[in-house]
């Protein structure tokens, strides 16, 4: 059979059927492979298994407590219920410097079933990643006809080590979710362009999916620009209708862009290093080349890529060398400018990075691995189309692709181990960047706020170990960057809670020098001054704090205590009542009102508020002691003894309760019980 005849028969279904049914014909190995890959179920099975090989070990990774996971899952006020009020709040508020209501809804649904248990969060994120991999395969299949390229791009998306951050980190649920709708919107847009019938339907679907992507993560605003790249690929960019149909997309991008700027205003204003214009340009170029290079050689990965330290006021040498690589890349792109597929892939990669290569400087990092999740689709497409063009042997292409996928799978799987908890993750960051002050502060916060305060709160030896580790990390962060405010706040909180208020005050003073109006600093310094008995100095800090946080019941209560201690009872009563108004179930303001009325000899009112305090918290020993004192002053010694006995029942080592009960027994002439309490008090003295 001639080559021409074979080709004709292959493309004719009836002839092909006759050909393959010929008795003596034997399918080649290549045909068997094609038959296997031509069955979608097998293709999707390969993609699923590839994803699973990377991530199966990550489903029980802990929350990264010291890097957003605590805020999104443990302390998130919007996900504790699926009430209509919560849903309304989710859609009408920023959270964590983002507007991402759809992602928060997903968290809320999962939280309803499992609370803070991690497995379901990881599993849902993994499933969405698998679906995204399927969509990448579908999308690339629509762009071109080479099956191996579609599978190759999808496989590289599934197993690339730079994508582990997006899939293994629960806080990046938004990344996989917005990508899901982003890819669906690209597919519906392809149908809109290429299917003449039902264009309106596909156009509406594209807008709808774009909106869902925007509601999942603000990064989706770049979609409208990506559509222009798609139009360039479809050779329809320079038609006026093409631009008219983009108006709704750009309006949505503009609206959500403004929302994003408002949500991230603080992050933009708090940029760390101050750089000259040419240095900023060098960092942008470095960031772009870093993302490009890590696609081909994903080693020495890190959860953080901090801004460079300018020793001697100069950027490191590599920042001046990297532009040479950038120029070389530009030359290569120019030389290959007639290769439409290659150019489109580079353009797709570049457009999707525009918002994250520090052109608009946000945060303290020059790069983050999660930002490659969508862009690497374009780079994979460019790389494989070049292989198709210059390596004519399809088997060799499969071999090269297979080797790369196996290596990337291994590297990505290894990378998931670094995401098993915040300690491992940031210890790895600090191993790579030992002069990174933020990393030490972050890890110190984990050691203090999670391990010392929560995990090992009932294990004195382990608690002390993590207190010391936290102190070392905070101190190291301060030694590396004395202008970095947060470690002063965190170390001050540690000092305060470990009985070192003088050292805490020094740290809070320094923190407020760097951030004069910070509410956390004001409140912590006010409480520290109160602890040191400096109530007149504490009250101005309370006032300043409450001028911006006027819904904090504890702050009103603490200021009330300060007023109480300078005997400004009228102001104290106002604050305690305000605290009760905000939170009627908070027991302490009732207690302090009882104490104030006792000092004013209004024992009936004192008993009333002490009883209210006990109704909110029946284990507060001091409430019973003050009730006993009220009854003592009312000469009702038997009731006083009853209250002191309740206090002792709760706290058998409370000396004050024994002393007061001893006096009450003595006053009613109960010699036996007086003697018993006296003997107990003697033992305390011993």
* pTM (predicted TM-score): 0.87
pLDDT at 663 (0 to 100): 94
Three-state DSSP state, 367:
strand
pLDDT category at 261 given cuts 50, 70, 90 is confident
438: tokens are 């933020």
Residue 282, pLDDT score: 94
Q: Which two tokens stand for residue 344?
A: 């489109």
For position 16, what pLDDT does the model report? 38
Q: What integer is the mean pLDDT of 128-148?
A: 96
Question: Could you tell me the pLDDT band of residue 32, with boundaries at 50, 70 and 90?
Answer: low
Of residues 171, 449, 488, 122, the one with CA closest to residue 303: 171
**pLDDT (tens digit, 9 = 90+) per residue, 64-103?**
999 999 999 999 999 988 889 999 999 999 888 889 999 9
Query: In this predicted structure, what is the pLDDT of residue 21?
Result: 41
Pairwise CA distance, residues 523 & 543, whole Å: 9
Q: Is the pLDDT of residue 270 over 50?
A: no
Neighbours of 575 (CB within 10 A): 25
- Judged against a pLDDT cut of 50, whether residue 12 lies above it is answered with no
Average pLDDT of 357-375? 86
Q: What mean pLDDT, rounded, does the chain reach?
A: 91
What pLDDT shows up at residue 27?
47
- Chain-centroid distance of CA 358 in Å reads 20
pLDDT given at position 358:
80
Which helix (H) or strand (E) segment is 33 a member of?
helix 29-37
pLDDT of residue 198: 84
Token code pair at residue 237: 């960019």
- Residue by residue, DSSP assigns 476-512 as HHHHH-TT--HHHHHHHHHHHHTT-HHHHHHHHHHHH
526-553 core/surface letters (b: 16 or more CB in 10 A; e: else): bbbbbeeeebebbbebbebbbeeeeebb
Q: Which position has the token pair 């809670």?
A: 497
Distance CA 95, CA 349 (A): 29
Q: 595's torsion region: left (phi>0), alpha (psi -120 to 50) or beta?
A: alpha
Do the beta carbons of residue 199 and residue 209 sit within 8 Å? no
The predicted pLDDT at position 34 comes to 58
pLDDT tens per residue, range 186-242: 999 999 999 888 889 999 999 999 999 999 999 999 999 999 999 999 999 899 999
């Amino acid at each position: 059979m001639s080559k021409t005849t074979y080709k004709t028969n292959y493309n004719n279904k009836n002839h092909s059927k006759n050909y393959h049914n010929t008795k003596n014909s034997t399918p080649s190995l290549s045909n068997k492979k094609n038959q296997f890959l031509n069955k979608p179920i097998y293709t999707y099975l390969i993609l699923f298994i590839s994803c699973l090989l990377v991530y199966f070990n990550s489903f029980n990774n802990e929350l990264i407590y010291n890097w957003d996971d605590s805020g999104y899952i443990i302390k998130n006020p919007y996900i504790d219920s699926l009430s209509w009020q919560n849903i309304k709040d989710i859609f009408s508020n920023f959270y964590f410097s983002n507007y991402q209501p759809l992602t928060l809804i997903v968290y809320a649904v999962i939280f309803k079933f499992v609370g803070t248990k991690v497995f379901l969060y990881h599993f849902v994120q993994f499933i969405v990643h698998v679906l995204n991999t399927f969509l990448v395969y579908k999308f690339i299949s629509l762009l071109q006809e080479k099956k191996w390229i579609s599978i190759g791009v999808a496989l590289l998306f599934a197993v690339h080590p730079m994508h582990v951050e997006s899939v293994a980190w629960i806080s990046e649920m938004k990344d996989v979710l917005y990508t899901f709708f982003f890819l669906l919107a690209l597919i519906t847009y392809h149908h809109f362009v290429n299917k003449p019938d039902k264009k309106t339907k596909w156009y509406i679907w594209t807008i709808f999916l774009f909106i869902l992507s925007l509601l999942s993560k603000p990064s989706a605003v770049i979609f409208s620009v990506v559509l222009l790249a798609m139009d360039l690929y479809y050779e329809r960019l320079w038609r006026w209708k093409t631009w008219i149909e983009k108006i709704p997309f750009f309006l949505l991008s503009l609206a959500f862009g403004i929302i994003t700027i408002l949500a991230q205003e603080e992050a933009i204003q708090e940029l760390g290093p101050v750089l000259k214009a040419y240095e900023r340009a060098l960092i942008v170029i470095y960031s772009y080349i870093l993302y490009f290079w890590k696609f081909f050689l994903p080693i020495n990965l890190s959860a953080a890529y901090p801004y460079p330290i300018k020793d001697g006021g100069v950027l490191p040498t590599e920042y001046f060398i990297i532009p040479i690589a950038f120029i070389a890349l530009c030359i290569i792109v120019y030389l290959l400018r007639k290769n439409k597929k290659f150019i489109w892939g580079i353009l797709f990669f570049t457009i999707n990075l525009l918002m994250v290569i520090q052109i608009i400087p946000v945060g303290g990092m020059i790069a983050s691995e999660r930002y490659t999740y969508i862009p690497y689709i374009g780079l994979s497409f460019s790389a494989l189309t070049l292989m198709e063009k210059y390596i004519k042997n399809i088997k060799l292409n499969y071999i090269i692709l297979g080797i790369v996928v196996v290596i990337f799978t291994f590297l990505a799987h290894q990378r998931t181990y670094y995401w098993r908890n915040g300690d491992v993750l940031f210890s790895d960051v600090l191993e790579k960047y030992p002069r990174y002050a933020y990393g030490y502060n972050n890890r110190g916060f984990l050691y203090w706020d999670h391990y010392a305060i929560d995990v090992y709160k009932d294990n004195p030896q382990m608690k002390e170990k993590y207190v010391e580790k936290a102190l070392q990390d905070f101190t190291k962060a301060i030694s590396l960057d004395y202008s970095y405010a947060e470690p002063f706040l965190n170390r001050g909180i540690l000092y305060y809670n470990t009985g070192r208020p003088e050292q805490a005050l020094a740290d809070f003073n320094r923190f407020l020098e760097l951030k004069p109006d910070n509410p956390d600093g004001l409140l912590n310094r006010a409480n520290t001054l109160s602890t040191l008995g400096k109530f007149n100095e504490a009250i101005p800090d309370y006032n300043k704090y409450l001028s911006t946080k006027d819904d904090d019941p504890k702050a009103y209560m603490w200021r009330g205590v300060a007023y109480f201690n300078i005997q400004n009872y009228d102001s104290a009563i106002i604050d305690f009542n305000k605290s009760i108004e905000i939170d009627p179930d908070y027991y302490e303001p009732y207690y302090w009102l009882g104490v104030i009325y006792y000092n004013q000899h209004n024992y009936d009112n004192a008993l009333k508020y002490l009883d209210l305090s006990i109704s909110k918290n029946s284990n507060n020993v001091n409430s019973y002691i003050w009730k006993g004192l009220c009854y003592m002053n009312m000469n009702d010694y038997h009731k006083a003894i009853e209250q002191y006995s309740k206090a002792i029942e709760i706290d058998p080592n409370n000396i004050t309760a024994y002393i007061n009960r001893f006096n009450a027994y003595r006053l009613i002439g109960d010699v036996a019980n007086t003697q018993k309490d006296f003997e107990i008090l003697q033992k305390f003295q011993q």
